[in-house]
Amino acid sequence: MNKSGRIIFMTLLLLSLLITCQSQKKYENKEKKYILLENNDPHSFSNPQFVRVYNMHLDLNINWKNKTLEGKVGLKMIKSKDNDTLILDTRELVIEQVKDGDGKILEHWLGKTDSIFGTALYIPTKGKDSVIVHYKTVPGSEALQWLTPEQTNDKEEEFLYSQSQAILARSWVPCQDAPAVKFTYSAEIKTKKDFLALMSATNPKEINPDGYYTFEQDQPISSYLLAIASGKIAYRSLGPDCGIYAETGMLDKAAWEFADMQKMIDEAGKLYGKYMWKQYDVLVLPPSFPFGGMENPRLTFATPTVITGDRSQVALIAHELAHSWSGNLVTNSTWNDFWLNEGFTSYFEQRIMEKLYGKPYEQMRQVLAWNDLQNTIEEMNMDNLTEDTKLKLDLSGRDPDDGLTDVAYDKGRFFLCHLEDVVGRENWDEFLKNYFKSHAFGSMDTEGFLEYLNNELLNRNEQWKKAAQANAWIYGAGMPEGAKKPVSTELTRVDSLVEACFSKDLKPYEMDTTGFTTHHWQYFIRQFSKKAGSLQVIRMEKAFHFSLRSNSEINCDWFVTTIKAGLKINRIQIENFLTTVGRRKFLMPIYEELIKTKEGKEWARSVFEKAKSGYHSVSRNSVEHLLYRS
């Protein structure tokens, strides 16, 4: 190389070094920003203001015989000073050893166990910036459910899945289990031969016969979004970047039900910015899954009870997909700000649904939600839970599950609908799009949102600011005065029908139900149920066979109606439902109605004893509490 060549070469080398250093610095600065996180999470022992985990590597063997996960987790961390102690959340984990990257054993100790929050694990980190925790789970790990073949859809092979939200990740991974702490992760998972393993990360589409899989999640996520599942699972693509995983027998039905998935992703992106997580898949779980859906990044977990054969419950996909922005991208700082996750998501879900299926469809769902919310607020007031009818919650010392009510979802959503009304859709959409963009991969608390809302939107116009009533919505109990009740002409028609059933003793065969969809029926049953006597209920069952429908929304509402009317005509169907479905949203109202009579309570307990081994701990604990301790 001649002299000028050498100069050019050296300049290029220097330049590239400089660029590398710069980007490294940018990354480090970004990481360091989080060090100064205030430790205001009342549900985690961790201390991210001093030591913060920013990357995790899981190496786990799924031990099907013992029903345990066994292996280790490597944690990389940033510290404010060298002799800080890393504090992790654990719950009933067996901690075997803690080592550094060179295999040297490190000191560690466990704190006192709390029945809600578990046990803190302390690891002094002097001279280290990573640790490896060797551990295993216990067979009863709260997050995990190990299903026998009989408890699955296909009834052929066993199945494992996790549910980490809100604070159960700590029962299968020692971690800083606080939503404001975000980290990237990778994993190596060994499962049974011919089984698939899936996580909230890059996923395999085909079975590896030796049961070994690797995963990568290179976008930072919160611990409650850690997820794992394994079983005899197959994949079906539904679009360029989306598809479904399910047991083979479910695949066709699920593919038909969720045919609009790609359209939903496209519309969501048009509304509030590009989908950031590359792939969007849905895993349809066996019926014991305790929730409707769970927004695990890249891989929503879903209950099979939404596969109804009429596509009436696809809002669930819109909802979990919407969490890819509200929740997974911009995350509630603590569970006290849960409405920022669920209220925003319910609003976004509504907008996706409106775009795909039109306003009248969404108006029906809004009216149903409004009525449910009114009932919830009324019941909460009666139970001395008025404080929990505020959007901003105070859940300190309590299980964050206590915040999982219609208030976060629907009061939150109606607040955002109200803001849209005040400022107009165009301004509102632009604001929301910027909100997601400017806070992506970070977290947000209620105060931060309020400040952003005022600065970026409401302060532009005095009238907006006044009409928004933001403080009343957020910090006031119940619904603020002037909250606008949604109207649905479709459902007004149903009101007249219900009215005629009582005032004119209209018989079922005289009812004009042409064009009725599942939502019309849901509304009909709920309104009818308020006044119906046992004879009217029997007549309705004979005409429409609601107990025999294969739609669990209708089943659930109808079971409650028949129990309320003091009937036992469908006990076989109710027992069958309670022993196969584990979705808590359905179980609770049925059990709650049953225990209102002495006979009902005894029967409910006997059914629960048969059913409980098939419930995930989330549902089992709630029902058990209801039947034996309340």
- Would you tell me which residues interact with Zn ion (CB under 5 A)? 342, 345
| CB 546 to Zn ion: min, Å | 28
Closer to ligand BES by Cβ: residue 231 or 403: 403
31 has catalytic annotation: no
Give 53-95 as a DSSP string.
Answer: EEEEEEEEEEETTTTEEEEEEEEEEEESSTTPEEEEEESS-EE
| CB 585 to ligand BES: min, Å | 5
Contact (CB, 8 A) for 291 and 586: no
* 404 binding partner (options Zn ion, ligand BES, none; Cβ < 5 to 8 Å by kind): ligand BES
Options 29-37, 120-128, 260-268, 319-327: segment touching ligand BES (CB under 6 A): 319-327
Q: Which residues of 38-69 are buried (b: 16+ CB within 10 A; e: fewer)?
A: eeebbbbbbbbebbbbbbbbbbbbbbeeebbb
**Residue of 119, 125, 162, 165 that binds ligand BES (CB under 6 A):** 165
Closer to ligand BES by Cβ: residue 294 or 307: 294
**Residue of 95, 404, 590, 594 that binds ligand BES (CB under 6 A):** 404
Question: Does residue 166 bind ligand BES (CB under 6 A)?
Answer: yes
For the chain, the 3-state helix, strand and coil shares in percent, each to the nearest 5, are 50, 20, 35
- Measured CA to CA, the distance from residue 500 to residue 512 in angstroms comes to 11
* 166 binding partner (options Zn ion, ligand BES, none; Cβ < 5 to 8 Å by kind): ligand BES
Contact (CB, 8 A) for 563 and 592: no
- Measured CA to CA, the distance from residue 408 to residue 334 in angstroms comes to 13
* 337 binding partner (options ligand BES, Zn ion, none; Cβ < 5 to 8 Å by kind): none
The catalytically annotated residue of 409, 435, 523, 591 is: 409
Count of residues engaged in binding ligand BES, rule: CB under 6 A: 15
Residues 272-301, interacting with ligand BES (CB under 6 A): 291-295
* 329 binding partner (options ligand BES, Zn ion, none; Cβ < 5 to 8 Å by kind): none
- Measured CA to CA, the distance from residue 452 to residue 443 in angstroms comes to 13
349 has catalytic annotation: no
- Measured CA to CA, the distance from residue 293 to residue 299 in angstroms comes to 10
- On the question of a cis peptide bond just before residue 604, with omega within 30 degrees of 0, the verdict is no
| CB 445 to ligand BES: min, Å | 17
Residue nearest to ligand BES (CB): 292
Closer to ligand BES by Cβ: residue 404 or 623: 404
| CB 263 to Zn ion: min, Å | 20
| CB 166 to Zn ion: min, Å | 12
3-state secondary structure of 24: helix
Options 173-181, 315-323, 437-445, 505-513: segment touching ligand BES (CB under 6 A): 315-323
H runs (alpha helix) in 294-337: 315-322
3-state secondary structure of 304: helix
Which tokens in the block code for residue 289? 């899954």
The catalytically annotated residue of 247, 295, 320, 349 is: 320
| CB 375 to ligand BES: min, Å | 16
Give 110-147 as a DSSP string.
Answer: E---BTTTBEEEEEE-TT-SEEEEEEE--TT-TTEEEE
3-state SS, one letter per residue, for 428-466: HHHHHHHHHHHHCCEEECHHHHHHHHHHHCHHHCHHHHH
Q: Which of 444, 338, 336 is nearest to 396 (CA)?
A: 336
| CB 190 to ligand BES: min, Å | 28
**Residue of 177, 320, 406, 420 that binds ligand BES (CB under 6 A):** 320
Q: Footprint of ligand BES on this chain (CB under 6 A)?
A: 165-166, 291-295, 315-316, 319-320, 323, 342, 404, 585
Active-site annotation, residues: 320, 409
